Amino acid sequence: MRFVYAFAAWLPRALLVLVAIGLLNFFLIRLAPGDPASVLAGETGASDARYIEEIRKSYGLDQPLWLQAATYLRNLATFDLGVSYRMQRDVADIIGERIPATLLLTSTALVLAIIIGTLLGIQAARRAGTWQDTVISAFAMLCYATPVFWVGLLLVLLLSVHAGILPPFGMSGLIPKSGFAAVLDALHHLVLPVMTLALFYFAVYVRLGRSATVEVLGRDFVRSARAKGLSERQVLRRHVLRNSVIPVVTMAGLQVGQLLGGAVIVESVFAWPGIGRLAFDALMQRDYNLILGIFFVSSIMVVLANLITDLAVRSIDPRVGRS
Amino acid sequence: MKSLMSFALAIFMGMASLAMAEEAPRRGGTLQSVLWPEPPGIMTGIYTQSSALLPTTKIFESLLTYDFNLNPHPNLAESWEISPDGLKYTFKLRENVRWHDGEAFTADDVVFTYGDYLIEVHPRARAVFERAQVSKLDDHTVVFELKEPFAPLIRSFDLCCLIVPEHLYKGTDFRKNPNNLAPIGTGPFKFDEWKRGEYIHLARNDDYWRDGLPYLDDIYYRFVPDAASRALALETGQMHIATQNDLELFDVDRLSKLPHLDVTTKGWEWGSPIVWIEMNLRKEPFSDKRFRQAMMYALDQNYFRDVIFQGYAKVATGPVHSASPFYEPDVPAYRQDLKKAEALLDEMGLKPDADGKRTTIKLLGLPYGEMWNRSAEYTRQALRKVGIEVILEPSDPAGWATRTRNWDFEMTMYFLTTMGDPALGVSRTFLSDNRKQGVLFTNHAGYANPEVDALFNKAAVSVDEEERKQLYSQVQKILVDDAAVLWLVELVWPTVYNKKLHNVVTGASGPNSSFADAWLAE
């Protein structure tokens, strides 16, 4: 019942946030100099005023801004994201094609990073001040401080160019396969980009896991648990872990919201057909409908992720939200 | 001795047959080509971005093709005739050509393409073909009739203007026609699949009109967004070819030394791009010719060629590209001479202040990557040496285009394709009646010189090639003396390809040719 109340309170707020984000994005993108007509004319080398006017008219860009905004909101209410100016295709279709690749990459990387990072962070906290702590913390710091594009290229050099064991880019082989072979092929191609992205996320969770565990290990209830005669393993599992994962869950929730935003750099380095690169290109080309569509889908994801995180934290720690 | 002779002969024969085997084109094989950026679409005429051209030109074909000297050769037109007054162009079309859907290619397709389709969707083609009335004499003969002569017409039948199927497009909304997603052409390769974000796949056209061609089974155009990854893909042999801006020039030099790769700079003669800085002549001090000349003397064009463009460029001497038959080498030269530059600035009364600064101007750089950032940065450093302080203005492609076409700049750097004939690609920057605010690649600077106008206009309608050369020679001398823009370098785009790949660049369209003759060795 508690969760139902939480959801009922969340829904109107979420809708309001989505409308506000939609409107803000609409006006922000139009503040940037240039419009789709400028970009298309630039790309085609067109020296023809008629061409620019035709583009503007056919996309409704010649109408007053308030009217364009009203049309945009009306369409949004029916989940009509419009047509991409450049590609002449439905924005929903374009986004739908790219979302699976992005989700596969970012969620695999995030899950690996959360599990390995948090466990190593807890281990570092348990052995705080020892060589194990130093090695884990230093490695995490190194991963965090190293630029993602550089790690990506280095891994390609090592594992693709020199060792020749992993493909350097793409989501499928040079000659595309079908059926189960295609799934295996995609997994094979997934390894390098996931490693690159996971190394970055991993560092965050090592730091979080370590600091949260160090803090919890010093709390009175842990001392009491030990005084009761519980084994170190029991203390850790029953008392420490449950408390130290709260910041981890909160951070994971925030990052899940960003999953759909994609990983622009990793997607670029590995030619991964995700949505991050699509968003970047759409922004550069002022493809208003496409960029607004991506922002809208991302904002839904963020709002949903916040709800799920909130519910998860309530379930781990019943004190949250009781007031 | 006899056995030794036989052994030597056997080795010689073996080597000879090996060499012959290497030379003979092989049927089969899959070409893997880099393509970046991913084009929004590949329907000819509608999507004319440079990356769209690579696949488009394999699917669709033109009436004519052009060799490295821009001379026309038969393609879908097997012969042509130009009337002596230059007003009538008659093309005899091939009879054994079929569209990829099996329909016959006829004069109706050509009349529709030049009379309706391109006029509506393609602004550059419109500027040329609006001058002509296209009609059909019979199923395989078409006539282009002009009101006044326009000599560049014969050089206008290539990349921009490929033939589209009338039976699929006539009476439809061209931009929304469903065939745009799976285009039907007459070319050596058929569209097969577009996996968004990954690749475009073209398959061999088994009914191609040139018997036995193409050699290749299929072509994959792979989208690789990162420049370093594109270089690695060529290095590892995963990709066979990359061209134009696919690679950073500092990578090209390294790749060219690898034993399995070759580099050619040929194949861009039709585009013939020149890099320059355009100045807003409506503003002080750019309106003073001496200031423009002083900047030309302050800049070292060799530095652009050797350091910034890593040798993949040629010093530009004026508005016409050196690959053009109308190029005039005998123009005033601006070798770097700081003393001359300072003397000109002194003469203008622009004296240096206590910090050595004479004036401050702004440069809108081209946001196309590292080479362009370096070009802008070097310009700033070079002009500072003569007391001209340059503020660099950053932008993105949309911002650059909007500011340039609206004349909202002091200096703007970019490159422009000069398109084989000065009437097509050069005069547009200097004709006073082409000062069209809001329209990109027109006379943004506001240059106006009645003598230049008269020479350009006369040359465009002359049918006498020698007279045209003479007129363009005069106009080049005037423009260079005027320093109408700051000419820097002619761009030389490298095509890097695997040595297994043959017949890559065979004419002025370079990698944008049909690849019917291209073949891959084992």
Distance between B10 CA and the closest CA of chain A, angstroms: 39
Contact between B222 and A170 using a beta-carbon 8 Å cutoff:
yes
Neighbours of B356 (CB within 10 A): 11
Q: Span B313-328, mean pLDDT?
A: 93
Q: How confident is the model at residue B17 (pLDDT cuts 50, 70, 90)?
A: very low
Q: Span B142-159, mean pLDDT?
A: 92
Rounded distance between C-alpha atoms, residue A12 and residue A9, angstroms: 7
Rounded distance between C-alpha atoms, residue B66 and residue B267, angstroms: 10
* Least reliable range by pLDDT among B33-42, B68-77, B325-334: B33-42
How many whole angstroms from its chain centre is CA A207? 19
Q: Span B110-128, mean pLDDT?
A: 90
* A2: in domain: no
Instruction: Mark whether B250 and B301 lie in a shared domain.
Output: no
E runs forming strands in B30-140: 30-35, 64-66, 72-74, 77-82, 88-93, 132-138
Contact between A49 and B439 using a beta-carbon 8 Å cutoff:
yes
> What is the spatial order of strands in the sheet that B30-35 belongs to?
B189-195, B199-204, B218-223, B30-35, B241-242, B495-498, B261-264
AA letter at A169: F
Contact between B398 and A46 using a beta-carbon 8 Å cutoff:
no
Instruction: Mark whether A172 and A256 lie in a shared domain.
Output: yes
Residue A71 to residues A22, A82, A285, B240, Cα–Cα distance (Å): 12, 10, 21, 47
Instruction: Mark whether A279 and A166 lie in a shared domain.
Output: yes
Instruction: Mark whether A105 and A191 lie in a shared domain.
Output: yes
Residue count of chain B: 522
Q: Which two tokens stand for residue A218?
A: 């010093």
Q: What is the pLDDT of residue B114?
A: 97
pLDDT exceeds 50 at position B342: yes
Instruction: Mark whether B368 and B486 lie in a shared domain.
Output: yes
Contact between A34 and B126 using a beta-carbon 8 Å cutoff:
no
Contact between B401 and A38 using a beta-carbon 8 Å cutoff:
yes
Contact between B229 and A269 using a beta-carbon 8 Å cutoff:
yes
Instruction: Mark whether B414 and B505 lie in a shared domain.
Output: no
Q: Which two tokens stand for residue A77?
A: 């209410």
Q: How confident is the model at residue B9 (pLDDT cuts 50, 70, 90)?
A: very low
DSSP3 helix / strand / coil % (chain A, rounded to 5): 75, 0, 25
* B316: in domain: yes
* A287: in domain: yes
Task: Tell me if B386 sits within 8 A of B356, measured CB to CB.
Answer: no
Residue of B nearest to A155 (CA): B229
> At which residue do the structure tokens 């020296």 appear?
A47
* A90: in domain: no
**By CB neighbour count within 10 A (0-12 exposed, 13-18 middle, 19+ buried), where does B377 fall?**
middle
Neighbours of B86 (CB within 10 A): 18
Q: Which of A48, A56, A61, A97 to mutate to test the interface with B (most CBs of B within 10 A)?
A: A48
Tell me which DSSP letter residue B385 carries. Answer: T
Rounded distance between C-alpha atoms, residue B369 and residue B225, angstroms: 13
Instruction: Mark whether A151 and A254 lie in a shared domain.
Output: yes
* B384: in domain: yes
Residue of A nearest to B429 (CA): A47
Instruction: Mark whether A118 and A226 lie in a shared domain.
Output: yes
Best-predicted range by mean pLDDT among B11-15, B25-29, B127-131?
A: B25-29
Q: Cβ contacts (< 8 Å) between B434 and chain A: which residues?
A: 47
Rounded distance between C-alpha atoms, residue B39 and residue A165, angstroms: 31
Rounded distance between C-alpha atoms, residue A47 and residue B87, angstroms: 25
Q: Is B70 helix (H, G, I), strand (E, B) or coil?
A: coil
Q: Which of A56, A58, A88, A95 to mutate to test the interface with B (most CBs of B within 10 A)?
A: A88
Residue numbers of the domain that contains A49: 12-77
How many whole angstroms from its chain centre is CA B241? 18
Q: Which of B173, B192, B218, B229 to mutate to test the interface with A (most CBs of A within 10 A)?
A: B229
- List beta partners, residue B165: none
Residue of A nearest to B441 (CA): A47
b/e per residue B34-67 (b: at least 16 CB within 10 A): bbbbbbbbbbbbbbbbbbbbbbbbbbbbbbbbbe
Q: What is the pLDDT of residue A290?
A: 92
Q: How confident is the model at residue B193 (pLDDT cuts 50, 70, 90)?
A: very high
Instruction: Mark whether A72 and A107 lie in a shared domain.
Output: no
Task: Tell me if B143 sits within 8 A of B112, measured CB to CB.
Answer: no
Contact between B229 and A153 using a beta-carbon 8 Å cutoff:
yes
Instruction: Mark whether A16 and A122 lie in a shared domain.
Output: no
Q: Cβ contacts (< 8 Å) between A159 and chain B: which residues?
A: none
Q: Cβ contacts (< 8 Å) between B234 and chain A: which residues?
A: none
Residue numbers of the domain that contains B97: 65-167
* B456: in domain: yes
Q: How confident is the model at residue B1 (pLDDT cuts 50, 70, 90)?
A: very low
> At which residue do the structure tokens 């009335």 appear?
B133
Instruction: Mark whether A66 and A138 lie in a shared domain.
Output: no
ipTM of the complex: 0.74
Within chain A, how many helices (H) and strands (E) appear?
14, 0
* B467: in domain: yes
Total tally of structural domains belonging to chain B: 3
Q: Which of B198, B414, B434 to mutate to test the interface with A (most CBs of A within 10 A)?
A: B198
Instruction: Mark whether B234 and B364 lie in a shared domain.
Output: no
Q: What is the pLDDT of residue B18?
A: 46
Give the CATH number of the domain where residue B449 resides. 3.10.105.10
Contact between A271 and B226 using a beta-carbon 8 Å cutoff:
yes
Rounded distance between C-alpha atoms, residue B354 and residue B356, angstroms: 5
Rounded distance between C-alpha atoms, residue B317 and residue B302, angstroms: 12
Rounded distance between C-alpha atoms, residue A266 and residue A276, angstroms: 9
Which phi and psi (to 5°) does residue B25 adopt?
A: -60, 145
Q: Is A253 helix (H, G, I), strand (E, B) or coil?
A: helix
Q: Cβ contacts (< 8 Å) between B405 and chain A: which residues?
A: 38, 41
Total tally of structural domains belonging to chain A: 2
Instruction: Mark whether B315 and B437 lie in a shared domain.
Output: yes
Instruction: Mark whether B485 and B403 lie in a shared domain.
Output: yes
Best-predicted range by mean pLDDT among B114-123, B272-281, B429-438?
A: B272-281
* Least reliable range by pLDDT among A48-62, A140-154, B91-105, B354-368: A48-62
Q: Which two tokens stand for residue B149?
A: 């002569």
Contact between A46 and B225 using a beta-carbon 8 Å cutoff:
no
Give the CATH number of the domain where residue B256 resides. 3.40.190.10
Contact between A161 and B436 using a beta-carbon 8 Å cutoff:
no
Q: How confident is the model at residue B5 (pLDDT cuts 50, 70, 90)?
A: very low
Q: Cβ contacts (< 8 Å) between A169 and chain B: which residues?
A: 224, 229, 232-233, 238
Rounded distance between C-alpha atoms, residue B476 and residue B320, angstroms: 7
Rounded distance between C-alpha atoms, residue B33 and residue B49, angstroms: 17
Q: Cβ contacts (< 8 Å) between A176 and chain B: which residues?
A: 195, 199, 201
* A1: in domain: no
Which one of A48, A170, A171 has the shortest CB-CB distance to B123? A48
Looking only at the bridges linking them, the beta strands covering B495-498 and B359-364 are: unpaired
Rounded distance between C-alpha atoms, residue B78 and residue B90, angstroms: 11
Q: What is the pLDDT of residue A257?
A: 64
Distance between B439 CA and the closest CA of chain A, angstroms: 6
Q: What is the pLDDT of residue B321?
A: 93
pLDDT tens digit sequence for B264-317: 999 988 788 999 999 999 999 999 999 999 999 999 999 999 999 989 999 999
Instruction: Mark whether A121 and A67 lie in a shared domain.
Output: no
Which one of A45, A46, A168 has the shortest CB-CB distance to B232? A168
Q: How confident is the model at residue B19 (pLDDT cuts 50, 70, 90)?
A: very low
* B45: in domain: no
Instruction: Mark whether A51 and A165 lie in a shared domain.
Output: no
Contact between B127 and A47 using a beta-carbon 8 Å cutoff:
yes
Instruction: Mark whether B136 and B96 lie in a shared domain.
Output: yes
b/e per residue A229-259 (b: at least 16 CB within 10 A): ebeeeebbeebbbebbbbbbbebbbebbbbb
Q: Which of B393, B42, B372, B188 is nearest to A89 (CA)?
A: B42
Give the CATH number of the domain where residue A217 resides. 1.10.3720.10
Q: Is B365 helix (H, G, I), strand (E, B) or coil?
A: coil
Contact between B48 and A44 using a beta-carbon 8 Å cutoff:
yes
Instruction: Mark whether A134 and A255 lie in a shared domain.
Output: yes
pLDDT tens digit sequence for B468-522: 999 999 999 999 999 999 999 999 889 999 999 999 999 989 999 999 999 999 8
Which one of B124, B233, B397 has the shortest CB-CB distance to A284? B397
Distance between A267 CA and the closest CA of chain B, angstroms: 8
Q: How confident is the model at residue B2 (pLDDT cuts 50, 70, 90)?
A: very low
Instruction: Mark whether B161 and B231 lie in a shared domain.
Output: no
Contact between A48 and B439 using a beta-carbon 8 Å cutoff:
yes
Instruction: Mark whether B371 and B453 lie in a shared domain.
Output: yes
* A85: in domain: no
* A5: in domain: no
Mean pLDDT by 10 residues, chain A (323 residues): 74 87 89 77 66 79 89 87 85 91 89 91 88 91 88 89 85 80 88 90 89 88 86 84 83 74 79 86 86 89 83 76 56
Q: Span B208-221, mean pLDDT?
A: 96
Residue of A nearest to B368 (CA): A284
Contact between B399 and A33 using a beta-carbon 8 Å cutoff:
yes
* B483: in domain: yes
> At which residue do the structure tokens 């996320």 appear?
A201
pTM: 0.82
Instruction: Mark whether B160 and B113 lie in a shared domain.
Output: yes
* A150: in domain: yes
Q: Cβ contacts (< 8 Å) between A48 and chain B: which residues?
A: 123-124, 126-127, 439
Which one of A33, A51, A87 has the shortest CB-CB distance to B40? A87
pLDDT exceeds 70 at position B326: yes
Q: Cβ contacts (< 8 Å) between B181 and chain A: which residues?
A: 89
Task: Tell me if B327 sits within 8 A of B335, measured CB to CB.
Answer: no
Instruction: Mark whether A193 and A285 lie in a shared domain.
Output: yes
E runs forming strands in B23-169: 30-35, 64-66, 72-74, 77-82, 88-93, 132-138, 141-146
Q: What is the pLDDT of residue B430?
A: 96
